[in-house]
Amino acid sequence: MANNMIKDEVNVSKLYGLEATLPKEEFLQKYHIKENGLSSGEADEKIRNLGFNEIKQSKPKKWYNYFLESLFTPFNCILLGIVAILIYTDIYLPPTPSYANIIVIAILVTASTLLDFFEEYRSNKAAEELKQMVATTTVVIRDGKEIQIPIREVTLGDTVLLSAGSLIPADLRIIEAKDLYVGQSSLTGESDSVKKQVESEIKLEELEAISDLDTICFMGTNVISGSAKGIVIKTADSTYFGKVAHTLTAGKPKTAFQKGIESISKLLIRFMLIMIPLVFLLNAWKHDIITAFTFAVAIAIGITPLLLPVILSSSLSKGAIRMSKKKTIVKKLDSIQNFGAMNILCTDKTGTLTEDKIVLEKYLDINGEEDIRVLKHAFLNSYFQTGLKGNIDEAVIKRGLENDLGNLSNVYKKIDEIPFDFSRRRLSVIVSDGTKKQLITKGAVEEILNICTMVDYKGEVSPITKEIKENIRKISKNLNKDGLRVVAVCQKNDISKIEQFSVSDEKNMVLLGFIGFLDPPKESAKESIEKLNRAGIRVVVLTGDNAEVTRCICNKVGINSKNIVLGNKLDKLTDIAVLRLLRKTNIFAKLSPIQKARIVRLLREARKCCWIYG
């Protein structure tokens, strides 16, 4: 774990103890935190003095870094070594210097280096420009207003607003929180989310590891659920993430292509180390030493494939140029060989096989009949929730506005919210129209059924029965078979006496119905799958979506959906058992990111070439 690797270098108590254990009011006073956040002038001045919020190792390379990497490849190093010997044998020793061999090798090295350098530098430059266009942003309070800024512009003292899905932009001290859970696996290696709060339950002298810091959120981690407000206490290299980045020196694993080149280079060097002395000794007894040595060097040059670096660089460059015409950036030329050697393609579904442009197609009551009341409640939930507004919320709001429900935002007022999290898989808002309060919840069908004891059909409320539940599941499954993603909607009216709302209030609710979303497959997906199959490349779908929706989409794009394995089954199987499943299964549904990574790891360990896409 990263945490263990830097334990000796980072004194958690010294770095974070004071900020973590100070009571909120004392922290705000000590660090002169303003309710309206920093002013634009203060933020600009701090950025000028402290620099941007960037880890040094993640900054773009200079042009000469790419040039040196291209120059000192294994083959080029062999050729440069031969040049060094030739300078002695062809220039220094003979009475009449000969430059021919040196010039030929120098031209070959230069051609190989420049081909590699220009292609990689151009591609990486384009990738950096693309990264700037899609730079991650965060919400901060500046001049009393909530604004969205690039993470690199976050500075000390900034007030950052967090919600489900947010990436923590710097090390923060939490000053407001509601059901805040953060994933710290990128730092600690532990997959379980950690609760963060306003007041620490740990004393200063008890702090030993970052897992003890319950009031601090760390750069590079992410919000699993809840919402919060935090003050930036450390940025860039001074953050814990920055210290991890500088401590971990291990680079990316070498590709099969790089290992092959290194293997051939080492073999050539061994031959030279054996052949040069051997040839020299065999000739030295009947020729003079200079002639024998020159002949031995000629043998070394003869067994070295001088044109190989140029051939490799030109071939890979040609591949990169062809890829660029397909609007694909190749940052490392070596990856072209990996791409060509691919025999298994692991792909996501949403946004890869599908358009990722979700449209709300249906709003149905518990009997599968269209009901505008279901859309109305879903609209209120999506409109007033302040967490991460995903495609589903945007689709609900768009459809609500098309059905003239926009005026509801003026009629109703938000009272509170119970944020979405990935364990409950639902989200609730509490709204009031001035006469009564309502708790409105939407989420996954099974999770909503678990908290409902009543159903509402055309305004009549009745107890939910086993038969009703089975009918609801049947309707939901039929919608899934049609390729629709289904979300259930429920409400609760008798909440006037509740002042502070929490997850425990999501019970004894009334089920209203469903909303169904369609994410159609891409027009190019089926043709692409067919081309891959003709090329002998097997496509494996790894998705977090449910089995029926996945089956429908896969059938439409031509992927065999006979066998579908769910994520909960994988957790019960050993690695060997999962590998057996991989031989006959092309679709894995309801997977977590960790389960996806496990499948890819197993494919790689089984020495199969696997390319992750999407």
Structure tokens at 581: 């499943």
Which string of DSSP letters, residue by residue, matches 360-408? Answer: EEEEEETTS-B-HHHHHHHHHHHHH--S---HHHHHHHHHHHHTT-TTH
280-339 residue pLDDT tens? 787 777 777 777 777 777 777 776 676 667 677 777 777 777 777 777 767 677 777 777
Q: Which residue has the tokens 């589903």?
A: 392
229-277 residue pLDDT tens? 898 988 888 888 777 666 544 445 566 666 777 777 777 777 777 877 8
Query: Residues of the chain with pLDDT > 70: what percent?
Result: 84
Strand segments, DSSP code E, in 503-571 are 509-518, 538-542, 564-566
Catalytic residue among 212, 334, 348, 371: 348
Q: What is the pLDDT of residue 285?
A: 75
Which long-range contacts does 98-106 make (Cβ < 8 Å, 24+ apart)? Answer: 101/301, 104/306, 105/79, 105/306
Could you tell me the CA-to-CA distances from 593 to 211, 217, 546 in Å, in that order?
22, 21, 15
Structure tokens at 397: 């709001």
Burial 424-458 (b: 16+ CB within 10 A, else e): bebbbbbbbeeeebbbbbbbbbeebbebbebbbbe
Q: What is the pLDDT of residue 441?
A: 94
Q: What is the pLDDT of residue 462?
A: 92
Alpha helices in 252-333 (DSSP H): 256-284, 289-303, 308-325
For residues 141 and 158, give the distance between their C-alpha atoms in angstroms, rounded to a whole number.
7
For residues 84 and 104, give the distance between their C-alpha atoms in angstroms, rounded to a whole number.
14
To the question of pTM greater than 0.85 for the whole model, the response is no
The amino acid occupying position 419 is P
Q: Which residues contact 227 (CB under 8 A, 6 or more apart)?
A: 161, 162, 163, 164, 177, 178, 179, 180, 386, 387, 417, 419
Three-state secondary structure call for residue 201: coil
Kindly give the parts of the chain with pLDDT less than 50.
1-9, 133-134, 248-251, 608-614
For residues 319 and 326, give the distance between their C-alpha atoms in angstroms, rounded to a whole number.
11
For residues 273 and 228, give the distance between their C-alpha atoms in angstroms, rounded to a whole number.
65
Q: What is the pLDDT of residue 190?
A: 56
Q: Which residues contact 331 (CB under 8 A, 6 or more apart)?
A: 120, 123, 124, 127
Does residue 348 have an active-site annotation?
yes
